[in-house]
Amino acid sequence: MSKKKKNEFLRSVKDRVETIQDMDKSKKIMAGGVIGVVALAAIIGVNMSGKSARSVAIETTASVESSTTAAPIAAAQVMPMEKAGNEFPSLGIEVETEEPRPELLEEGVQHSYIAKVQERLMQLGFMDNDEPTNYFGEVTKAAVMIFQRQNGLAQDGIIGPSTLPLLMDENAKHYAAKLGDVGEDVKRIQNRLYELGYLASADMITGTYDEKTQEAALKLQQVNSLSEDGKVGSETMNLLYSDEIKANTLSLGEHSEVVQNIQNRLFELGYLTTRPDGTYGNDTELAVRVFQSKNDLVVDGYLGPSTRAVILSSEAKANGLRLGDENEQVARLQSLLAKAGYLNESNATGYFGELTESALKRFQSNNGLSADGRAGAQTFAKLSSGNTNGPSRNDSSNGGKSDKKSGGGSSGGGGSYSGSVGNMISIASSKIGSPYVWGAKGSNSFDCSGFVYWVLKQMGVGQSYITSSGWRNPGRYTRISSFSDIQAGDIVVVSGHVGIAAGGGEIIDASSSRGRVKRSSMSSWWRNNFIVAWRIF
């Protein structure tokens, strides 16, 4: 071989050797990367293999190194990419997808944390009790503004860095209206103080907690044996709408010309069934309660300024007992019919059934009255006069029979049932979306008890407006003590709230947390706060 060819051969061999060396370096670099990936996967799978992370990693590394010296790494040994671009396979871990809590919680925002805010506002008395939701609406904003007012903050209705810590503090202030406060909540308090006779005139209802309001609150606290601080806090607020409230006005046992005038009017309207005598006795209190029920007033039996004004007005609704009613006045009517000879005394049960209706029609026919089977002012006046025509020979006093209720309940303080549970749910559903307004009774806005009152009224059920606490024991419907026994049409009472069961585990109610009438499932909140339910039909 010539010297030239020999040199060319040596250069060729050298080039091949360098190429092989470069390939070996690449293999080692690749092997190192694969070793890291496989070792991590091995560590994750430790629990499945039962081996320690160290031993699995060593075995895996040795295996990879061995394969790199023996032959090029097979494509199947490299962990493939997933379609989504993940470097590792899915491990089945659920990731929270909700956006972080906004720095400012304000009207229109939806977030799970808002339910905690509403629950706290309810606990502190700034918001009516209800199932908390994730929506920050008008009612929540109004409650936040009152909280801010009480804590000396800017009343913007926005929960930010200044408001949130105070609201969530374990020592946060409970609701208490006091001297100098201004708002719709103050106006509601003043209106109730006026009804109860603690504020002297309607022009004092201004929405500003002034000295007159403070004096009225102090007087109420004194009369009702509460702590006398002149503020309307949770204790005083709860008492304002309680059956135990003592009014500063005409009440049981009082004798005066004012009482006489009111009695005369109640007698004309058919509510008072005894002769007016100027003394506020049990008959007068009953007449006042029935009048308040039929005229959309708070039923407390007191002759406060608001009740007196309505009684003496031309807008006062006359009484008229009819089929399906059940109360003490029905029992009084039945006693008068028995005294006149049209009904057996044993039928004075307090329930206005078909026998009572039949006896009443005969009495009306025999005494020159319209025989419509309803006991109004003229009928009571004639029955109470002592100058009546007795039954004819053909009239029957119904022997030993007695009135019986039909269906699953009674109509309460006036009005007979009409329709069915289906109609009731339909009427309630027609108001879904209507705004929630504290104290509103319809027909376009409601609070929770006002909504139930309005629906029952449309059904012909003479139930007076009572708060959620009053629904704990209305005393006239079928009691349902077990949450699992609730049926469509039942009135469901929970702590501080009330709604109408819609069937299928759903409820229709005027929700303060959502700011509207809504239909939703009865969640665990309803079960956990359940007190009682009442079957109307």
The verdict on residue 245 lying in a domain is: no
Those residues whose C-beta lies under 8 Å from the C-beta of residue 231, and which sit 6 or more positions away, are 176, 177, 178, 217
How far apart (Å, rounded) are the C-alpha atoms in residues 217 and 213? 6
Find residue 105's DSSP bridge partners: 159
Say if residue 392 is in the same domain as residue 327.
yes
Judge whether residue 71 has pLDDT over 90: no
Say if residue 529 is in the same domain as residue 427.
yes
Mean pLDDT of 163-181: 96
Say if residue 435 is in the same domain as residue 531.
yes
pLDDT tens-digit readout, 194-226: 988 899 888 999 999 999 999 999 999 999 999
Q: Answer yes or no: are the C-beta atoms of 430 and 443 closer than 8 Å.
A: no
CA-CA distances (angstroms) from residue 365 to 323, 333, 342? 17, 16, 12
Among residues 311, 331, 348, the one where a domain terminates is 311
CA-CA distances (angstroms) from residue 213 to 143, 193, 194, 237? 21, 8, 10, 14
How far apart (Å, rounded) are the C-alpha atoms in residues 260 and 388? 25
Tell me the pLDDT band of 280, cut-offs 50, 70 and 90.
Answer: very high
Say if residue 330 is in the same domain as residue 397.
yes
Judge whether residue 30 has pLDDT over 60: no
How far apart (Å, rounded) are the C-alpha atoms in residues 431 and 412? 24
How many domains does one find in the chain?
A: 6
The verdict on residue 490 lying in a domain is: yes
Among residues 174, 194, 214, the one where a domain terminates is 174
Q: Which two tokens stand for residue 192?
A: 């109730």
Those residues whose C-beta lies under 8 Å from the C-beta of residue 76, and which sit 6 or more positions away, are none
Containing structural domain, residue 61: 3-77
Lowest mean per-residue pLDDT among 104-113, 163-172, 175-184, 286-295: 286-295
The helix (run of H) or strand (run of E) holding residue 509 is: strand 506-511
pTM for this structure? 0.61
How far apart (Å, rounded) are the C-alpha atoms in residues 271 and 358? 21
Q: Residue 489 carries which side chain, given as an amino acid letter?
A: G
pLDDT tens-digit readout, 480-494: 999 999 999 999 999
Say if residue 306 is in the same domain as residue 341.
no
Say if residue 470 is in the same domain as residue 502.
yes
Among residues 155, 174, 193, the one where a domain terminates is 174
Say if residue 145 is in the same domain as residue 198.
no
Identify the CATH number of the domain in which residue 384 sits. Answer: 1.10.101.10
Report which DSSP code applies to 470.
Answer: G
Say if residue 429 is in the same domain as residue 509.
yes
pLDDT at 136: 96
Q: Which two tokens stand for residue 196?
A: 């109860």
The verdict on residue 134 lying in a domain is: yes
Say if residue 358 is in the same domain as residue 282.
no
The verdict on residue 87 lying in a domain is: no
Place of tokens 């089929």: 323
pLDDT tens-digit readout, 315-359: 898 888 888 777 788 888 899 999 889 998 888 888 888 899 899
pLDDT at 409: 38
Say if residue 276 is in the same domain as residue 376.
no
Say if residue 470 is in the same domain as residue 504.
yes
pLDDT tens-digit readout, 117-169: 999 999 999 998 899 999 999 999 999 999 999 999 999 999 999 999 999 99
The verdict on residue 410 lying in a domain is: no
How far apart (Å, rounded) are the C-alpha atoms in residues 293 and 483? 29
Q: Which two tokens stand for residue 115?
A: 């339910």
The three-point CA angle 131-137-143 to 5° equals 80
The verdict on residue 73 lying in a domain is: yes
Nearest CA to 319 out of 410, 414, 455, 417 is that of 414
Q: Which two tokens stand for residue 58?
A: 């060593």
Give percent above pLDDT 90 in the chain.
43
The verdict on residue 155 lying in a domain is: yes
Q: Residue 65 carries which side chain, given as an amino acid letter?
A: E
Say if residue 296 is in the same domain as residue 352.
no
The verdict on residue 428 lying in a domain is: yes
User: Taken in order 413, 418, 420, 423, is the CA torsion positive or negative?
Assistant: negative
